[in-house]
Every structure is written in structure tokens, then in C-alpha cells.
Amino acid sequence: MITLGVVYDAVPSAWSFYGRERELGAISALLEAERFFFLRVTGRRRIGKTTLVTEALRRSGRQRVAYVMVADADPAGVVLGAREHLRRSGVEDTGFRDLFGLASTIGRLVRDGWVVVLDEYQAFARKPLYLFNSALQFEVDQLRAPGSAPTRGGLIVLGSIQAEMDALLADRRAPLFGRATAVLELDHLAPSVTAQILTTHAGRLDGRRWLTLWTILQGIPKYWRDAHEVDALGAEPEVALTRLFFTGTAPLAADGTGWLLEELRGRYDPLLRYLAAHPNAPRADIAAHIAETAGHTSVQVGAWLAALEQRFGLIERTMPAFAEAPARSGRYRISDNFLLSWLGALATPVAFLGLRPMPELVAEAADRLSTLEGFALERLAAGLLHERSRRGLGDLSVSEPIRGWWDRSGAEVDLVLVHEPDRRVVLGTCKRAPARLVRDLPRFDAHVARLLATQPRLAGWRVEKIAISTRLDAEHRRACTAAGYLPRDLHDLTEGLIS
């Protein structure tokens, strides 16, 4: 008897490096300039910072590269770890015994033409390690001083907690403020890149499968590679979930828990779980829930929202299209698909693994995930439409960010595409199930009418409607067209974006 997910269908094809061409070009320009540089790279965990830098250095042909993973330890532990990493990088003189000696060694290496990479640099925000920043400032200032000997060496620092990296490098009071010569902030891979990955490793682009995977993995390169390595990219949704989360070798099972425990240390849990169950919640609803369940005041909720939005970048406040910036009609949502899927669909079933039958747990997770896929489809469609507009593909160009629209009456439009030069607006509805999309069109017409009635700005504009799903057959397309909608599925939206 074969246990689901333990034996894979086939040996996965070789993985490659996907996307990031703009970022690779930026790093290549620094490496080819033949002068000192200090590059700061930030982004969420697993977003591919180290892989990007490694790939750029590999393509450059640079041989003298020193890599240091900064340990989550006291000063002695950081020093011991740095000495070992430098030795493994080929550095011969690693006799330093404190953080000041480490900074001095980095300065010497850069002057000698080495590229030094410090990974997880945000660790130096901790009080016991903070003095290292002043020591490194001294070395950087020496390297940048007028009359200093020219060098083709450089320093690259990588960090995964945005607020702490800002505190170290962007705060005016920080020792290293203004020293970085270049900054890269990595976001998710573009949706079209994930479509290319799926096409390459699953043999074809299946819109339904793509939406399930994108709902979990979004544009996180490490997670897509993990899915590739357990042969989940070409599998049916429940098989993919099993391989990613429910087997003994499941690569993502510990990542959600690790994130919450290590990075957030269990804080903000009631708020995040509420947003996972109620995406796009207004602040008043959040405050009422926290007051009822955790006893916290609205002032504390405001501090939690600010920390999660500004420090960790895990939630975002969205405004309806055409709203003024100070409007009180904003909604909050978890901005990271993986965290949303973990908290909203996967954490509880995974926790009961071994206590209940695995197929039952996987089915429960898949059912919960299907609800979140509806919200994810809106994000995916908006991302693809932005890409198409940016590349000049098709006739759905936009001059403003694509947003949704809603009001207090309950009317809601999933996507609003504004093209000011042509006085044209396209209003979109998204449904993962094609049959439901078609059935819902009359109701959506009423929401469109409500929007137009409340937006005098659109008087005299050309108004079009678009209906989006994972995959539309000929019958669904005819029904959408007959109702006055442009029918589009995920295959249509990737046309011209992937080879």
C-alpha cells in the first residue's frame, strides 16, 4: 500500500533561476563598475535575497566572495560563526576575537577586492550586537573617503525584517545612515513568472491548479522550489497539499509555525487569525473582535495594526477606488498569501496530524483553502492586468493602481481599471468557479449601477465590464458576452507574458 504523497509520480526536471532580471541587472552594474559599493537588500523571509545575490555573483565571475550568515547569538557566538564562514569562503586571516575585529576584517577584505556578504544583518539591531554598526561605519567611511585607494570590492547586507533594517541603515540616528550606495527591496515574483515555473515543471498551465498553488505560494521563490522538489507542481490540489504540508518530509509544514514563533514570537495572534478568517475587515470590526475575545482596547489594536503593517509588512490597509486618502472606509487584510493560507486553512489540520486520518485533514484544509482562493484570484488577476498594462499588451491599460470598490450598502466591485487619458473604466468581477461567475452577473450589474450612481467623476466615461475565472469554456464565454462582459480567464491574462 502506497501512502499518499510519499512516492512521487516522476523525477522533477531541473530547477533554474526565474525572474528578477531587473534586480540582477542592478547588481551586475555594481559589480562591473570597478569601484566600492555598499548594497542593502531587504525582503520577507524566503523571498530569494541570498539566491539573487549568489546568482548575480556567479554570473559576474567574481572569485573572491566572502559569505557570513550572522548568527542569532551573543557577540561571542556571532564572532565564532563569522570566523568559520570566512574560513569556508577562503579567507586565511580570521584571527579576530570580537565584533570590532570582525568589522576591521571586513574592511580589509573589501580593500583587497573581495565582495563581503552579511546575511540576516537585522541581528545587529539587538542591543548586545549594536556596537558592530559603529565599527562597520568606520570601515565604510574609510573606504568612501576622498583619496582612498580604489577597490573593486564591495559590501552586501541582507535582511528579512524591514523595520529593523531601516533602523540600522535608514534612520538618521543610525551609525550607517546614508552609507549604502544602492538599495534593493525584493517583492514577490511577478505572477507571470510563477506561470512560467508551472508551465516549465508541470508541462502545461492549468488555471485551476495555478490558483491553488498561488494562493499558498504567491511569488515566494523558495516555496515554489520546495513544491518542485516534492513534485507538487503537477499534482492535483489535494495531493499537492499532502506533499507540501502533511507528510513526514513536507517542506512547508514548519514554516508557518516557525514564522509565528520566531519572527512574531506569538504576538498579534488574535488579530492575524481574525484577518485570516475575515479578509478585508474594517478596523471597527477588528477592534470589536479583539475587545470581545482578548480584552484589548482599541488603542492597543491600533498599535498592533501599525506594527504588523509598518514593521513586519504582513498586513495592508486597502482603500476603495476613488476614495480620498484620509477616508475611514479602509479595510485591512493579510498581505502575504502564505501566512493567510496557513492561518486560515492549514494550521489547524496540520496540528492534528497523527490524531485524525490524513485524508480527512487534507480534505478539510482543501475546503478551507477554496474560500481563500476567491480573494487570491482577485489579487492574481490584478497582478496580471498590471503586467499586461505595463508591457502594453492588449486593450486593458490602466493609468491608476487597480483597486476594488465598496460602500456601506454592501455593493462591491472586485476590480476597477481606470484609464484617465481615454476616459475609460473597466469594472471586473472574479469567481474561481466559471458556472458561479455566470450566475452572479445579474447581481454584479446592480453593484456596477451603484458605483456609477455614486461616482459623478465617471459621467460621460466609457464603461466596460469584465468577467474573470480560472478557465472559461466556449459556453461560459458566450454567456458572459451575451450579458455584456469581456470574458477572460487566467490563460487569457497570461497570453504574451510567458514564452
**Domains in the chain and their CATH numbers?**
21-185 (3.40.50.300), 374-494 (3.40.1350)
State mean pLDDT over 8-24. Answer: 78
Q: pLDDT > 90: what percent of the chain?
A: 74
Residue 1: pLDDT band by 50, 70, 90 thresholds? very low
Predicted confidence (pLDDT) at residue 52 exceeds the cutoff of 60: yes
What's the CA gap between 38 and 94, in Å, rounded?
22
Band (pLDDT 50/70/90 cuts) for residue 254 is confident
**For all residues of the chain together, what is the average pLDDT?**
90
Rounded to an integer, the average pLDDT of 289-297 is: 75
389-406: pLDDT as tens digits: 999 998 889 999 999 999
Length of the chain: 499
pLDDT, tens only, 415-465: 999 999 999 999 999 999 999 999 999 999 999 999 999 999 899 999 999
Q: Is the pLDDT assigned to residue 265 strictly greater than 70?
A: no
d(CA 151, CA 140): 12
Dump pLDDT digits (tens) for 209-243.
999 999 999 999 999 999 999 999 999 999 999 99
The mean pLDDT value for 339-365 works out to 94
pLDDT digits over 100-155, tens only?
999 999 999 999 999 999 999 999 999 999 999 999 999 999 999 998 889 999 99
pLDDT over 80 (residue 196): yes
pLDDT of the residue at 392:
92
pLDDT at 2: 27
Name the pTM for this structure.
0.90
The region of weakest confidence among 158-167, 329-338, 365-374 is 158-167
Look up residue 184 and give its three cell numbers. Answer: 534593493
Asked if residue 8 has pLDDT above 50, the reply is no
pLDDT at 447: 97
pLDDT bin (cut points 50, 70, 90) of residue 13 is confident
